[in-house]
Amino acid sequence: MPNADPRVALPVGERQYHIGLGPGELADYILLPGDPDRTARIAARFDSIELERRNREFASATGTYRGQRVSVLSTGIGTDNVEIAVAEILAIVERPTFIRVGSCGALQPYIEPGDLIISSGAVRLETTTSFFVHDGYPAVADYEATIALVEAAFRLGHRAHVGITATAPGFYAAQGRPIPQLPIRYPDLAEELARQRVLNFEMEASALLILAGLARCRAGVVCAVYAQRVAGTFLTGEAKERAEAACVETGLEALSVLAEIDRQKSAAGVDRWRPSIWQTA
């Protein structure tokens, strides 16, 4: 049937225009990397794969991991792409759980390259979310997703930090990086945010957290530190690959933790998880 709202210019049918997926092709538990090439590396960790697809920057795979049906879908770079991905996922999955697995630049001197940063919330430097909410509306991670990521990093032995992330609408001027050929308005942006105890810069978290929260879905964010902005260092080669692997396996482990949390909530007959449920399970 044609879409009932003429403002939504989508083709006839249920398959979504950008992600190329229809109902039933994504699991309820979804990893969201930015890089489409990362999707295949994540899917290689699945126990089995039932579907793989790619359209534009949106590469996806669905399968099982430790007996739980899971999916991975790349968003590409930026909050505008996250808006597309999340909107189309919500059209075909009733109540998805999202974990973003990405990369970032650290703003605090004690955070080392290769560490993980789990976002408790995000500074909305981008404008995509302003088309959904008031400019003072906070981008906050779901507490169950945050707990699951902290537990996952601990289980796997990965050094992780928890705190506020800044989501920028670009990589260079929007993160205070100088560009020799161009003027930038806020050359001290990184230092200013660091004074406000912001842990890192990345480019997608706030959109995911806002949109998931509005849809009453869970979302969490974990990023591997590729750049140390204070020291001016950047991971390359095998060190970068190890950091990505740590981030990915933490995201997958967090989905397993969330699935267990859901089973325990169901058994207890409650809709909100609390520590005592886990302790008595």
Q: Would you name the residues annotated as active-site residues?
A: 18, 88, 177, 229
Give the up-direction half-sphere exposure of residue 219: CA atoms within 13 A in the CB hemisphere. Answer: 26
d(CA 75, CA 91): 16
3-class secondary structure per residue, the chain: CCCCCCCCCCCCCCCCCCCCCCCCCCCCEEEEECCHHHHHHHHCCCCEEEEEEEECCEEEEEEEECCEEEEEECCCCCHHHHHHHHHHHHHHCCCCEEEEEEEEEECCCCCCCCCEEEEEEEEECCCHHHHCCCCCCCEECCHHHHHHHHHHHHHHCCCEEEEEEEECCCCCHHHCCCECCECCCCCCHHHHHHHCCCCEEECCHHHHHHHHHHCCCEEEEEEEEEEECCCCEECCHHHHHHHHHHHHHHHHHHHHHHHHHHHHHHHHCCCCCCHHHHHHC
Query: Residue 151: which of 63, 270, 226, 252 has the closest Cα?
Result: 252
What's the one-letter identity of residue 204?
E
